[in-house]
Structure 1
């Protein structure tokens, strides 16, 4: 296999990019740190293509030096292969203000071929390449320079085998006629809205928000919006501004003064000193605000409806077994419960999911299909 190139000079990066210009696809991964920041801090970019592998050091290269790689990554004629792409795409969107499409996510692709919903990269490499990857650098400080040679090789392995994995998955999916199924999954990853901050909707991510009454939810929304904006402005994790539990407690007991918060254990004195007045201001503003809309908690299903869900789940499992897929990749039990309640705006009833199982599930629910056992298999007639 190709030797790893560690690139921290502009001329070396330009040479590498020139050397892989003929590649139809690039295997890509990143290493980043975000324990102390709101945004991920990009520390390393790994790229494999055309029999070359590079670990590129963005900490040593300015925007001008990185431009050849940026242009290559944003070239829509090349597939960018990732494993579990969401976080890597967030990194690139933050760094470049754009997403490197089109993408192929090997984790999603593997789920279409019976490897489970969220198989890890190392397990997938073991399954498809019979290679056991090293695990000794999972806690490496990727900001450290110089990086140990072993850490660089560990990072390079994340793309060294990603290409062979991609090729095997692509071949199997093409043979099974499932590549088109994946198109909408991969296109969804390129929705820029996934990677933009949303202060107005920040309350939805607060653990415990569903336990609040509407008037309390309005206070939470005001406080969560302030926390999100503060975290963004300071580039600090949300929890460093104020913990989720503190937001929920404040929503239940909105303070009129800073002193009202002195006995709240999840709000330390340093936070009161720094943010106390702002917390009071936004809590009081929330008291006057209209509560945000939240989907109502659905009524519990009765015993007959639960039996219908069980039947739907059985048919779904049977359909997925035929395709060697995980049922969770097609629909969750909650979605089947929604189907029983009469909802129709469900992913299950669109695209490839509808063709594979959704229409049959609707047919079973409407009485157009029945289930029976035939030679040990569940079949629908």
Structure 2
């Protein structure tokens, strides 16, 4: 039987009330959680609301009123209580930064749904409609959650994000268990709760910038220095990276590597105010990169020729065939980039590890190596081993 959270929403707005709520929640086997936050004008997400639900409790925690969220830490750290999210990564980040405790263990209904044939990265509203037959309202989807007071309708709208998550979770969990797939998720959910994923890393900030493969070795080194400086500046000022310098301008700076104020002034897209304020820092980054080793940080990557792309198309067809047969979203198994890497000879890939290898990877490898074939079967495509001669 699918549980339903209570209709009435409790609003928790002080430390004592939060502590009492946490004591009750820790008696449950699982707790559904969601957050509302703002980060349009900041580097770090600004937590505005926390929604929680069990089969017996439905509440919204107001962090702006509570101020001290330390009573929430024991719940997040309690390994006997499963924390259920939908599309968990941003919620995990904001809770970890606000409370200082990583929620563990977790269950992500978006990831789980893909293993049962739902669309890859399915939205919460679509999942609730598909699994529970409930169509959610979207009237307050653009609410400024930092504004106070929140209306009763806004609170109720926010509570819907966990009110129906309880039923979706139990339905997905039971079906996964019935199909023998529940254990498949454990490694992915464990990886989600690694704090390193949510900790600023200036030294690797260059990996977020598009276009790095198109740069030469020295330019890549300049981009790494510039990206690290921008990340530290964004963290220190709590401002979005793009407010410091946009990605395309950062790449252009790395490509041109201006050596003085005159050359810097000729870089398009660099606002005069930013140039005047950050001139010394930008030029210092470029100078520092010039003293580094000449090796590239990352290779340009060799594009596949026509035959290679045809093999990727073949594997794509095989992937879809296996996904349909196993009733798993193809996107949850592999991306086209994964298949291109497979054709290029790489073997340390998600599709060749764990449950993905068992579900599709082994067959795709066999197809690539001529040990399997695709055939039409009515309106379907079947991926099967080559018959023994």
Find the counterpart in structure 2 of residue 236 from structure 1.
239
Which of residues 331, 336, 345 is equivalent to 2:334?
331
Q: Establish whether residue 26 from structure 1 lines up as the match of residue 31 from structure 2.
A: yes
Distance 1:249 1:312, change over 3 A: closer
Following superposition of structure 1 onto structure 2, how do residues 8-157 of structure 1 map, counting pairs within 5 Å? 8-63=13-68, 66-157=69-160
Find the counterpart in structure 2 of residue 183 from structure 1.
186
* Contact 1:221–1:292, Cα closer than 8 Å, also in 2: no
Distance 1:169 1:210, change over 3 A: same
So what's the TM-score if we normalise by structure 2? 0.92
* Contact 2:216–2:296, Cα closer than 8 Å, also in 1: no
1:264 to partner: Cα distance: 3.2
* Contact 2:39–2:46, Cα closer than 8 Å, also in 1: yes
1:373 to partner: Cα distance: 3.2
Find the counterpart in structure 2 of residue 212 from structure 1.
215
Distance 1:295 1:364, change over 3 A: same
Find the counterpart in structure 2 of residue 275 from structure 1.
278
Q: Structure 2: 5+ residue runs without aligned partners?
A: 1-5
1:15 to partner: Cα distance: 2.5
1:365 to partner: Cα distance: 2.4
* Contact 2:214–2:300, Cα closer than 8 Å, also in 1: no
1:251 to partner: Cα distance: 1.3
Q: Secondary structure at the match of 2:65?
A: coil
Find the counterpart in structure 2 of residue 365 from structure 1.
368
Q: Equivalents in 2 of 1:222, 1:128: separation in Å?
A: 48
Q: Equivalents in 2 of 1:198, 1:204: separation in Å?
A: 10
1:257 to partner: Cα distance: 2.5
Question: Which region of structure 1 is more displaced relative to structure 2, 8-17 or 30-39?
Answer: 8-17
Q: Establish whether residue 5 from structure 1 lines up as the match of residue 6 from structure 2.
A: no
Q: Establish whether residue 298 from structure 1 lines up as the match of residue 302 from structure 2.
A: yes
Question: Which region of structure 1 is more displaced relative to structure 2, 288-297 or 128-137?
Answer: 288-297
1:256 to partner: Cα distance: 2.5
Q: Structure 1: 5+ residue runs without aligned partners?
A: none
* Contact 1:38–1:231, Cα closer than 8 Å, also in 2: yes
1:354 to partner: Cα distance: 0.9
Q: Establish whether residue 258 from structure 1 lines up as the match of residue 261 from structure 2.
A: yes
1:292 to partner: Cα distance: 4.8
Q: Equivalents in 1 of 2:185, 2:28: separation in Å?
A: 22
Find the counterpart in structure 2 of residue 169 from structure 1.
172
Find the counterpart in structure 1 of residue 3 from structure 2.
none
Q: Secondary structure at the match of 2:347?
A: coil
Find the counterpart in structure 1 of residue 313 from structure 2.
310
Q: Equivalents in 1 of 2:344, 2:86: separation in Å?
A: 36
1:280-326 Cα distance to aligned partner (Å, 9 max, x none): 111222222235521441242342x3343333222221111112111
1:231-257 Cα distance to aligned partner (Å, 9 max, x none): 111111111111112211211222222
Aligned residues: 378
Q: Equivalents in 1 of 2:275, 2:344: separation in Å?
A: 47
Q: Equivalents in 2 of 1:209, 1:300: separation in Å?
A: 19
Q: Equivalents in 2 of 1:222, 1:100: separation in Å?
A: 33
Question: Which region of structure 1 is more displaced relative to structure 2, 326-335 or 164-173?
Answer: 326-335
1:12-56 Cα distance to aligned partner (Å, 9 max, x none): 222322333321000000011111111101111110014211110
Cα RMSD over matched residues? 1.7
1:254-276 Cα distance to aligned partner (Å, 9 max, x none): 22223333343422222122211
1:336 to partner: Cα distance: 1.9
1:200-245 Cα distance to aligned partner (Å, 9 max, x none): 1111212332322211111111111111111111111111111112
Q: Equivalents in 1 of 2:99, 2:19: separation in Å?
A: 18
Find the counterpart in structure 2 of residue 221 from structure 1.
224
